[in-house]
Structure 1
Amino acid sequence: MNLLYWLEPWEPSPTVVIAVLLAAVLFARGVRKAKVSVARQLSFWFGLAALYVALHTRLDYFFEHEFFMHRAQHLVLHHLGPFFIALSYPGAAMRAGIPFAWRQRYMRPALQTRWVRATLDVLFHPVVAVVLFVGLIYFWLLSPIHFVAMLDWRLYRVMNWSMVIDGLMFWWLVLDSRPAPPARLSPGRRILMVVAAIPPQIVLGAFIFFSPRELYPVYSICGRAFTWLSPMRDQQIGGLLLWIPGSMMSVIGALLALRHWMRLSARTRLRDEKRADVTTSARKPTPSSALHANQH
């Protein structure tokens, strides 16, 4: 049993292959034109590879047959993978990877339409972003909904893709290093946004961990991958994964947002100091003008 065995998809999905290949090609093309550091490139490729492994390998069997493995999968899809992709700031590179004619003819007109701009304004509103980020976790962990999602392959894929897309949107907002504008949110609002997402994750993780009964019997009904692990222990480990690593990712995101805020504040102070120096220099009398004033 070698590495290639584990990289084989448990349930092949053309959607995953096309989406990952498209992102990889656009970024690889854009890196040749846009200025992207080695660290940012590594961050992007790590995040994209993490998403592929969590969506399209033999590990998917374990994600479907153990609750704690399912939580590990969603930790990657909703937190880790999107976090590292957003941390690489790939927007400029991926935009540069699109042929110029396509950008002018299709991309720019589509983004300028009223309904697209209105939709993006709603989805990227900080309150909506936090509610979606936390709400999707709660929604898919509601016991009746989770039961159906783990049995219906179509709903299962909708669940996973919703976590990926929402994670990308959320971390894109939080880790944006630019000032506002052009960024959608100011640095202070980014910090508040990610901090607001921490307590609900802790509460839900603690509830699952301390629950005295089995909340997700679908894994016992369908057969567990690890027969040596009791249902309650499986559930407790899953609750811990949501409680601690999930919350810690948000804390790290808040610290990075704070770092961007301090950097942008320092730049603003430097600009203000330069303007003050220029103004002071302009007001100081030159030797010739001072001599002329004394003669009068």
Structure 2
Amino acid sequence: MNLLYWLDPWEFSPTVVIALLVPAILFVRGARRAKVSAARRISFWFGLVALYVALHTRLDYFFEHEFFMHRAQHLVLHHLGPFFIALSYPGAALRAGIPFSWRQRFVRPALATPVVRKLLDVVMHPVVAVTLFVGLIYFWLMSPIHFVAMLDWRLYRVMNWSMVIDGLLFWWLVLDPRPAPPARLSPGKRVLVVIAAIPPQIILGAFIFFTPHELYPIYSICGRAFTWLSPMRDQQIGGLLLWIPGSMMSVIGALLALRHWMRLSARGRLRGERRAKAAQALTRTAAAPAGGDR
């Protein structure tokens, strides 16, 4: 077996192909016009390829037949892939990749509609963002819901895509390198948001790891890919993947958000610092004539 064998989809999905091909084309077109560094390009392509591997390769068979493989898949879909895409900050390149006439006629009017603006305001609210990010993990790992999701291919795809979309929204919010505004959150709030997502992941991962009975019998019922791995060991590894790597990704995100905060502060681009500088400038301007009269 070679690499191409494993990259071959277990079940072909035109939705996955289109959803990943469109941003790839837009990024290639836009990166020629926008200034995108080599590091940002590598980050974007790594994240996009990671999503493809987790969604549309032969590995999907193992994701469906081992709990720890399923957790590895969601670690990529919810954390790793969206994290690196957001880290590349591809917004300018993606916009530049859209033909100007399309942006004027379709994109801007769509984004300016009250429904879209209100929806973005809701899902990008810090409390909602954390609740969705952690809540989706808990929701899909509830035993009855997980049982049905792994049996129904439609619900299985909804589960996977919900993790991808939520991961992109969350990490885009947290890793935004700009000051607020135009960013939705101030740098300090970005740090707090990602830190708030750490304890619930640790608690759930530890719960799965230490539970003495099988929580997800669906894998035993449908047949396991690795017959040499016991159900409890499989469950423990899956709990550890949520407990340690998942939490560590959030720690790294917090450190990067803190780095953006310090960088913006050093450059005097925070809102409070801008106001203080403006007030100082006004004070100097007002004092200058009086000093001249004396």
Question: Shorter chain as normaliser: what TM range?
Answer: over 0.9
1:126-157 Cα offsets, whole Å, 9 max, x none, are 10010000000000000000001001111000
- Which amino acid in structure 2 is aligned with residue 81 of structure 1? G
In the other structure, the counterpart of 1:185 is 185
Deviation at 1:282, TM superposition (A): 9.6
Between the aligned partners of 1:118 and 1:283, the Cα distance in structure 2 is 45
Between the aligned partners of 2:109 and 2:15, the Cα distance in structure 1 is 26
Gaps of 5+ in 1: none
Deviation at 1:268, TM superposition (A): 1.1
Between the aligned partners of 2:64 and 2:4, the Cα distance in structure 1 is 20
- Which amino acid in structure 2 is aligned with residue 182 of structure 1? P
Q: Is residue 102 from structure 1 mapped to residue 99 from structure 2 by the alignment?
A: no
Deviation at 1:275, TM superposition (A): 8.8
In the other structure, the counterpart of 1:12 is 12
Deviation at 1:108, TM superposition (A): 0.6
Shift of the 120–274 alpha-carbon distance from structure 1 to 2, 3 Å rule, reads closer
Matches within 5 A, 1:1-296: 1-268=1-268
- Which amino acid in structure 1 is aligned with residue 193 of structure 2? M
1:29-53 Cα offsets, whole Å, 9 max, x none, are 0001111100000000000000000
1:91-122 Cα offsets, whole Å, 9 max, x none, are 01000100000000011111111111111111
Rg (Cα) greater in structure = 1
Q: What SS is found at the alignment partner of 2:119? A: helix
Q: What SS is found at the alignment partner of 1:268? A: coil
TM-score scaled to structure 2, two decimals? 0.93
Deviation at 1:169, TM superposition (A): 0.1
1:202-224 Cα offsets, whole Å, 9 max, x none, are 00000000000000000000000
What's the % identity of the aligned pairs?
Answer: 82
Between the aligned partners of 1:77 and 1:227, the Cα distance in structure 2 is 26
Q: CA RMSD in A?
A: 1.9
Between the aligned partners of 1:233 and 1:100, the Cα distance in structure 2 is 54
TM-score scaled to structure 1, two decimals? 0.93
Q: Name the stretch that deviates more: 106-115 or 261-270.
A: 261-270
Between the aligned partners of 1:283 and 1:123, the Cα distance in structure 2 is 47
Deviation at 1:280, TM superposition (A): 5.9
- Which amino acid in structure 2 is aligned with residue 120 of structure 1? L
Deviation at 1:267, TM superposition (A): 1.1
Between the aligned partners of 1:23 and 1:8, the Cα distance in structure 2 is 21
Between the aligned partners of 2:267 and 2:241, the Cα distance in structure 1 is 38
1:188-245 Cα offsets, whole Å, 9 max, x none, are 1111100110000000000000000000000000000000000000000000000000
Deviation at 1:266, TM superposition (A): 1.1
Between the aligned partners of 1:91 and 1:79, the Cα distance in structure 2 is 19
Between the aligned partners of 2:226 and 2:142, the Cα distance in structure 1 is 23
1:60-104 Cα offsets, whole Å, 9 max, x none, are 000000000000000000000000000000001000100000000
Q: Would you identify which runs of 4 or more consecutive aligned residues in structure 1 move more than 4 Å?
A: 269-285
1:134-186 Cα offsets, whole Å, 9 max, x none, are 00000000000000100111100000000000000000000000000000000
